[in-house]
Amino acid sequence: MNPELLTPGGANVRAVHDAFHGDLLEVSMGPHHPSTHGVFRMIVTLDGERIVKLKPVFGYLHRNHEKLGETVSYLGSMPYTDRLDYLSAMTNNWAYAIAVEKLAGQPVPERAEYVRVILAELTRLLNHTCLAGFLMQDCGCSGTPLMYAFREREKILDLFESLSGSRMMCNYQRFGGCRVDPTPAWVDATRTLVGNYGAFLDEFEALLTGNEIIMARTQGVGVLSAALAINAGVTGPMLRATGVASDLRKSDAYGVYPRFQFRVPLGAHGDVYDRYMVRVLEMRESIRILEQALAGLPGGPIMDPKAKLRGFRPKAGEAYGRIEGPKGEIGFYLVSDGGPNPLRYRVRPPSFINLTVLEDMCLGQTVADAVIILGSVDIVLGEVDR
Amino acid sequence: MTYSPLHLCLLFSSALFCIGLIGALARSNTILVLLGVELMLNAANLNFIAFWRYGPPTAPGTGVIFVIFAIAVAAAEAAVGLALVIAVYRHHRSIRLQDANQLKG
Amino acid sequence: MNAALLFATTGSVLETLPVTLRDLVTGWLPEPLRWLVNSLVGVGTLLAVIGLLFAYLTLAERKILGRIQNRPGPNRTPIPFINLRFFGLAQPFADGVKAITKEDVVPDGADKVLHFLAPVALLAFSIMTLGVIPYGRHLVLLEFDAAVLYFFAAGAATELAVFMAGWASRNKYSLLAAMRALAQLISYELPLLLSVVPAVMLAGSLALPAIVEAQGGWSYGFLPQWHVFTPWGFAGFIIFFISALAESNRSPFDLPEAESELIAGHLTEYSGFKYALFFMAEYFGMCALSGMGVTLFLGGWQAPLPFLEFIPSYVWFGVKLLSLLLVFIWIRATFPRLRMDQLTRFAWKFLVPLALINLGTAAFWSLTAGWSGPLQFVRWAVALALVLVPFTLLGRRLSAGVAPRTYRYAT
Amino acid sequence: MIPLLLIAGLTLATAAVALALRNLIHSALLLIASWAGIAAFYLWAGAEFVAFAQVLVYVGAVSMVVLFAVLLTRRSRDDISVAIDSPARGIAALLTGGAVLGVLFGAVISSPLGAPAAGARPSLSVKELGLQLMGPHAAALLIVGVLLTVALLGAVVIAAGDRTDAAERKPEGNP
């Protein structure tokens, strides 16, 4: 096939041409489709099995999240942020807490910063493990890797539950600290889990990373160029898989991250395999961070004693708080007019912005590739549709 | 005059041949024309088997071997013919015989 | 042949038990009628046994998949009235009741006749393939001179049924699946047939009992002379098995019903009993192909060791069949799915050339059957080289450009 | 005789209906039934090998190619029906076919073919067939092998070569 036809413009010319002859098949994948990771819909135009056009349709899970945030108090939005990316409630909480803390100039005690790092890295493990499982499911492994991934996920969710009382909707962070102080027993349990996680990753990788079919299915598929990724605002593992060194943990140095030794893995090809591998390698770095954080967990209060929860009214102003979530840069932009509610509340959802390059990655690939490319983007529809 | 099973077989095959012939002549869809021709070939094969079964004794298995070769050739013919149909369709966006009346594509 | 003669020739009551039982039941009938009743009894028994095998194969598949995936699998269905669970052994029957009582939905605008005909045709053809397999020394339903050809002729017709299902549903997923199914089945038909030819060549017959007989006996007194223990036989068996996986639409070649891409492919618009028929036909096809593999390469009903010959032949056949089916299930739990172009490339650029070369290997093997002493080693070395060298070269070409990668880090 | 009449009736009926239908897929499937009927005739006549070869080649392979061709040459997505052709053409074809049928029937009925020799039912085992093929007919076998290879390559070249050609030409036709 002529490569220049596969560029977006060429593909459109071709699509028009072929549509004239009625040669194309338009397939609506979703919203009820086994592998759209929720209620997402892709209107795919196929030439045989090749994709010549892909139109994503979303909004099936729209819940008015941003408007809702302007009608409730600052603290009232915290549980709602859990429901954005429901796989990584802890990082959503933290990003929102950072935004409000910036707005109000609220300091955070050291112990809380450490706990936040621990929870964020656990969330990263949880998210990447699940994603790897889902991706393998999309590749056609009939459930086995997914079940292995879910086994580990359960262990992390158990930790979250014993700490916050809820497995997925943790509602744990507060402005100026955390809601509950972790007990020594919880810290020990976390230490055990982190100690065993490397072995699980070894097992998972031994089963899948070197698998020839996985490599053949994912290498060179869904290539995203670094230039396009930067222009489209793609962040997180997807951007790093294209070879761009961008990690807010390094560049923003928020929280206590500068105290920890860790590396940022980078891909070179920007294909599905790189996205998968960058996530797996990131998990190994997360384990290192967790070990350091657990070893250095200081005592002291978990909440800033001067922090005000009831009747919280930050002075007028605006703030943007962001962290490196598992899926990319999750940010909250808040404008305050001095009242109990934010005047403007805006979310920067990483998976929504990462999803915008879906068509560019899918053109010229087959239907089967579209499924794993979507899987490798790592979306959660709660966050995409808000 | 008595009629043997051979008569019946031959009538069967000639009827099949004529159905194929009518199909090939009456339809203008290239695929159907090809299928009609295939039927005519099959009718000929029927004759070989009928004569092998009921006809005067010949060298062992002559009819059967003839049919085996005919089937092999017919398979090749079908493959090439349908490949041609697809090629014609790609050029003319039609598989009506009338539309493919030029030697240049 | 009467029961007494059989008894004398085999010297084993168990061996002839099925035949004896049948003759006890039908022996009093007059000759033309007896033949008819015997055939009917044979078909009935076969269908009952394979049907039961199907029922428990579905349960075994779910149980084994469950075990591999850290979950228990179905274990709740009790036996009615006595409320005993027995690891969920009543599950297949509950499934059957469910399938029958479920609503049969036919999409508006579907080709109703073809939509109905597809599962029926598929089941009919897959049952037909079961008829020629020798299940034991005396247990062959249909004895054809060209049994191998019959088997693949009936098997080839199943492709049509898959196409009919995909096309008649008037659903885009089904249509895509139908196209995929056609391409896949055509591609793998060729290596499947080519891998069988050496076994036919060595036996000098297309009749399956003769092929099984050709694998009798032991070299050095203990090593069974099954085809799979020769270089060409091993290669042929692997090619056969891979092609059989593809022909029966099993993972990793389950593209026509790839659930992550095409929902359920050609089965998307099927529900209720028609879906159950498809399911059944797929398992029957799997059993038939496994049975064929056992017959052609694994010595059929022959015992693996001389002193185990007292165990009746049909038991050995059953054991081998079940182990092959187990491998089918194991592979399903383990492998990811190929992409369409990779699937066809694998068939045309790897399996077909390998099968063709294997033909030459088998010819060499059969020509050098008389070699003994040190020449025996030469024979083995040449045959092994003929199998391994193309395998390595073709394999390297196939996986060119696919390799594990190393990653750099930003500090 | 009854099986033969049954087989002939079914074969002819499916063939006739197949060539008269508008729906190409139905045509192809009915024609496959017709080919299967011919295989049944071979089986009835005792030519086991040929019968299975007929099923394998026609029902298994040629049918697939036909269906592929039908699917690849559809004018629009769902429409595979073909317009009925001009009545004049149909009538002409019927007249020609009818004439040929009349001539053939007349010739067959009027020719004294004689009764078959009793008990001389010829049979040909697969082994004998193989020996025949590799012995007296070895040259023909080789030629057929070459023909099949050439046909396979030719089909691939015709179907695939045009595709790149078409892809290259496409942008020119559009602004």
**Which sequence spans correspond to the domains of chain A?**
65-385
- Could you give the 3-state DSSP secondary structure of residue A194? helix
Q: How far is the C-alpha of D47 from the C-alpha of D51, rounded, in Å?
A: 6
pLDDT at A3 exceeding the cut of 50: no
% of chain C with per-residue pLDDT over 90:
2
Judged by a CB distance cut-off of 8 A, whether residue D29 touches chain C is yes
The answer to whether residue B101 is domain-embedded is no
Task: Examine the domain organization and report whether D8 and D67 are in the same domain.
Answer: yes
Judged by a CB distance cut-off of 8 A, whether residue D169 touches chain A is no
Q: How far is the C-alpha of D128 from the C-alpha of D113, rounded, in Å?
A: 28
pLDDT digits (tens, 9 = 90+) for D82-93: 665 677 877 888
Judged by a CB distance cut-off of 8 A, whether residue A9 touches chain D is no
B86·D93 Cβ contact <8 A: no
pLDDT digits (tens, 9 = 90+) for C108-143: 877 788 888 888 888 888 888 888 888 877 777 777
Cross-strand partners of A28: A43
Q: D140 falls in which pLDDT band (50, 70, 90)?
A: confident
Look at residue A122 in the predicted model and tell me its pLDDT: 92
Strand spans (E) along A66-200: 173-174, 177-178
pLDDT digits (tens, 9 = 90+) for A313-349: 888 888 998 898 898 899 999 998 888 888 889 999 8
Query: For residue A177, which phi and psi values (nearest 5 degrees)?
Result: 145, -155
Query: For residue A366, which phi and psi values (nearest 5 degrees)?
Result: -95, 170
**What domain range includes position D50?**
1-76
What's the whole-number average pLDDT of chain D? 76
Look at residue D108 in the predicted model and tell me its pLDDT: 82
A17·D174 Cβ contact <8 A: yes
Work out the average pLDDT over C268-287.
85
Look at residue D76 in the predicted model and tell me its pLDDT: 54
**Contact indicator for C223, C229 with CB cutoff of 8 Å:** yes
pLDDT digits (tens, 9 = 90+) for A35-63: 777 788 888 888 767 888 888 888 888 88
Among chain C residues, the shortest Cα distance to A221 is held by C339
D108·B11 Cβ contact <8 A: yes
Among chain A residues, the shortest Cα distance to C68 is held by A144
Look at residue A158 in the predicted model and tell me its pLDDT: 92
The answer to whether residue D90 is domain-embedded is no
Q: How far is the C-alpha of C151 from the C-alpha of B87, rounded, in Å?
A: 34
Q: How far is the C-alpha of A257 from the C-alpha of A323, rounded, in Å?
A: 11
Please identify among residues 207-266 of chain A the ones whose CB lies closer than 8 Å to any CB of chain D. none
Look at residue D168 in the predicted model and tell me its pLDDT: 39
Of A49-53, A150-154, C6-10, C141-145, least confident by mean pLDDT is C6-10
- Interface chains of chain D (3 or more CB pairs under 8 Å): A, B, C
Look at residue D121 in the predicted model and tell me its pLDDT: 63
Q: C103 falls in which pLDDT band (50, 70, 90)?
A: confident
* Top-confidence range, C22-36, C113-127, C367-381, D149-163: C113-127
pLDDT at D160 exceeding the cut of 70: no
A264-to-A114, A246, A330, A355 alpha-carbon distances in Å: 20, 8, 18, 22
Of C143-147, C152-156, D171-175, least confident by mean pLDDT is D171-175
Other C-beta atoms closer than 10 Å to the C-beta of A179 total 18
Instruction: Quote the minimal CA–CA distance from C276 to chain D in Å.
Output: 24
Task: Examine the domain organization and report whether D5 and D62 are in the same domain.
Answer: yes
Q: How far is the C-alpha of A250 from the C-alpha of A324, rounded, in Å?
A: 9
Among chain C residues, the shortest Cα distance to D72 is held by C179
Chain D CB contacts of C178 under 8 Å are: 71
Q: For A2, which of D168, D173, D174 is closest by C-beta distance?
A: D168
D171·A1 Cβ contact <8 A: no
Residue located via tokens 């002493």: C373
D167·A16 Cβ contact <8 A: no
Identity of the amino acid at C146: A
The answer to whether residue B100 is domain-embedded is no
Judged by a CB distance cut-off of 8 A, whether residue A259 touches chain C is no
The answer to whether residue D98 is domain-embedded is no
pLDDT at A7 exceeding the cut of 70: no
Q: Are C and B close enough to touch, i.e. 3+ CB pairs under 8 angstroms?
A: no
C260·A137 Cβ contact <8 A: yes
Which of C313, C287, C324 has its CA nearest to residue C49?
A: C287
Which of C217, C215, C183, C186 has its CA nearest to residue C199?
A: C215
pLDDT digits (tens, 9 = 90+) for D27-82: 888 888 898 899 888 888 878 888 888 888 888 778 888 887 887 776 654 555 56
Total tally of structural domains belonging to chain B: 1
Query: For residue C7, which phi and psi values (nearest 5 degrees)?
Result: -60, -45
Q: A10 falls in which pLDDT band (50, 70, 90)?
A: very low
Q: What count of residues does chain A have? A: 386
Please identify among residues 137-176 of chain C the ones whose CB lies closer than 8 Å to any CB of chain A. 172-173, 175-176
pLDDT at C43 exceeding the cut of 80: yes
Q: How far is the C-alpha of C394 from the C-alpha of A212, rounded, in Å?
A: 15
| Between A16 and A268, residue with greater pLDDT | A268
Look at residue D84 in the predicted model and tell me its pLDDT: 59
pLDDT digits (tens, 9 = 90+) for A279-321: 999 999 999 999 999 988 888 888 888 877 777 888 888 899 8
Other C-beta atoms closer than 10 Å to the C-beta of C52 total 11
Return the number of CB contacts < 8 Å for A and D: 22
Among chain A residues, the shortest Cα distance to C64 is held by A144
What CATH number is associated with residue B39?
1.10.287.3510
Judged by a CB distance cut-off of 8 A, whether residue D73 touches chain A is no
Task: Examine the domain organization and report whether D10 and D69 are in the same domain.
Answer: yes
Task: Examine the domain organization and report whether D66 and D134 are in the same domain.
Answer: no
Q: A14 falls in which pLDDT band (50, 70, 90)?
A: very low
The answer to whether residue B103 is domain-embedded is no
**What domain range includes position B15?**
5-92
D126·C157 Cβ contact <8 A: no
D171·A13 Cβ contact <8 A: yes
Look at residue A129 in the predicted model and tell me its pLDDT: 92
Among chain D residues, the shortest Cα distance to C190 is held by D61
Total tally of structural domains belonging to chain D: 2
Q: A123 falls in which pLDDT band (50, 70, 90)?
A: very high
Listed residues D14, D43, D76: the one ending a domain: D76
Look at residue A5 in the predicted model and tell me its pLDDT: 37
Checking B60-66 for CB contacts under 8 A at 24+ apart, the result is: B60/D122, B60/D124, B60/D128, B60/D132, B61/D122, B61/D124, B61/D128, B61/D129, B61/D132, B63/D47, B64/D47, B64/D49, B64/D50, B64/D124, B64/D129, B65/D129, B65/D132, B65/D133, B65/D137
Q: How far is the C-alpha of C192 from the C-alpha of C298, rounded, in Å?
A: 16
Give exposure, D94-109, as e/b (b: 16+ Cβ within 10 Å). eeebeeebeebeeebe
pLDDT at D164 exceeding the cut of 70: no
Angle between helices C147-168 and C112-130 in degrees, nearest 10: 160
Pick the CATH number of A65-385 from 1.10.3720.10, 1.10.645.10, 3.30.1380.10, 2.40.50.140: 1.10.645.10
pLDDT digits (tens, 9 = 90+) for B5-14: 788 888 888 8
Interface predicted TM-score of the whole assembly (ipTM), two decimals: 0.78
Q: For A2, which of D74, D167, D173 is closest by C-beta distance?
A: D167
- Interface chains of chain A (3 or more CB pairs under 8 Å): C, D
Look at residue D115 in the predicted model and tell me its pLDDT: 58
Judged by a CB distance cut-off of 8 A, whether residue A25 touches chain D is yes
